[in-house]
Amino acid sequence: MSMAQIWPLAALMTTVFGAMIGLVLRSMSAQRAELSAKIEGTHEKIDGSVTGLNEKIDGLRNEMNARLDPLQRMVERLDEDVRDLRKELSNSGGRPQTT
């Protein structure tokens, strides 16, 4: 094959490869856009789920506090009563005072 025959063939191959590379790049770009859209949609779903979970957790925390607050007050009163009884016993020599 002479150089006169090789140059047109090389030019044709370069054009074909260039077109193929262009197609691959456009396809990759389209796939990237599609995946980015899917990722963004998933991100929005996760954000919504996290918000919903935070609301549920806050509700449960409030319910737990509402149920435990009376118990905490009762334990605090019992603790005060025990302290008072200890003081009374230590002041009376170990015998409870009767009124």
Instruction: Give the CA distances from residue 13 to residues 21, 50, 67, 89, in Å, rounded to whole numbers and listed in that order.
Output: 12, 54, 79, 106
Alpha carbon distance 71, 82 (integer Å): 16
Average pLDDT, the chain: 90
pLDDT digits (tens, 9 = 90+) for 12-51: 899 999 999 999 999 999 999 999 999 999 999 999 899 9
pLDDT band at 88 (very low <50, low <70, confident <90, very high): confident
